[in-house]
Copies of this chain bind each other. A is one copy, B any other.
């Protein structure tokens, strides 16, 4: 019998509590699968007194995560604190320097400092694992980095934030507006009191930056992710999407193009029958497109105590079995710099909704603005009639350049008869 793998856990919130529960409940199973036991030996958290529903007897307590990170006799430091800087970063750096393997669920930390931390880990010869940082319980990192390792990845995209997907699903099924559904989601605990990280797309962008690095073997480059959230999606757009055969999803998309790598997070219209279109509610989905395997779709729970603990456990099992993989698919020295292809270079189809005063000649002006930018209209819908008042007008385009579309929208938005800023949603026909 090999010696047990000794684990220190920093952060005993939902995920930390779930992990302790898993390590206890599955102790024998893990031993059978690893050939050794995985034992939590030390923990740290903000308040010692709190009841976490987990038995902490026999586990050393530390008040400070950075001290825990270098505690003697520890093999792996599990960081479940969160935040891109501060104590989480200090503790992870300390752990790596002290020769501890690190498992983290912290997407902000990796999005901002992933390349640097990966370099440190590689120099020190330890593992930096982060299955739980992307798409919760879905084995997306393992799937990409090992399962599809024989492929050159062309694209990876997915639903990376369950809160946004829950809100968009609720808006559709209850026909309510964003603000009302968000308030409900906050009450139910599906959205944070300060929801901006989720609904403004930042959380999804963190995860996308990590996925991009793993998929393409390049440095993590969060700064070049184009980010839009879901605040501007209206119940009306969701209704029109349905009519046109689409669902609205907040997607993260990383695509290798001739010009470089596109990284973008924004609301998309996707076909209802596609795997992404069929993924409702709090679920996450990740789609990878490889040159030999074609598309592989992974769907599951993107958050929560159980699924996240499952992902952390998978990393611990890899470490316990001495299975190692370069942090971002290839060694740091071989990581390519990420050459970003900006959103203005996107080619694709577009949905546009305008609120226009219902009077003769308005549509001719809109059509002329599109024509002047070589944007070709595919469909056009004006359902309601209300002479002299504002009514919604919806159009979709054939494939066109984002830059041309933006120029056309600037002209259209400036028309007298267009009474609200035009709403544009990109169509992705996966």
Residues of A in contact with B (beta carbons under 8 Å apart): 18, 22, 25-26, 29-30, 32-33, 35, 131, 137-139, 142-143, 146-152, 217, 273, 275, 278-280, 290-301, 306-307, 309-314, 316-318, 321-326, 329-331, 334
Contact = CB atoms under 8 A, between A and B. Distances in A.
Contacts of A278: 273, 275, 278
Given A137-B292, A278-B278, A292-B313, 7 more contacts: A32-B217, A142-B147, A149-B314, A275-B299, A291-B306, A292-B309, A297-B298
A278 B330 CA distance: 35
A295 B139 CA distance: 12
A296 B298 contact: yes
Contacts of A307: 292-294
B290 A295 contact: no
Nearest to A26: B150
B306 A137 contact: no
Q: Is the interface of A mostly helix, strand, loop or mixed?
A: mixed
Contacts of A273: 278, 280
Contacts of A30: 149-150
Contacts of A151: 26, 310, 313
A336 to B, nearest CB: 10
Nearest to A325: B321
Given A300-B294, A307-B292, A309-B292, A317 B146 contact: yes
A298 B301 contact: no
Contact of A310 (B217, B292, B312): B292
Contacts of A279: 275
Contacts of A22: 150, 292
A291 B138 CA distance: 14
A26 B152 contact: yes
A14 to B, nearest CB: 13
A295 B298 CA distance: 11
Given A26-B150, A26-B152, A146-B314, A33 B329 contact: yes
Contact of A142 (B143, B275, B317): B143
Nearest to A279: B275
Given A18-B292, A142-B142, A148 B310 contact: yes
A326 B323 CA distance: 12
A313 B150 contact: yes
A310 to B, nearest CB: 4
A331 B297 CA distance: 30
A299 B297 contact: yes
A26 B217 CA distance: 14
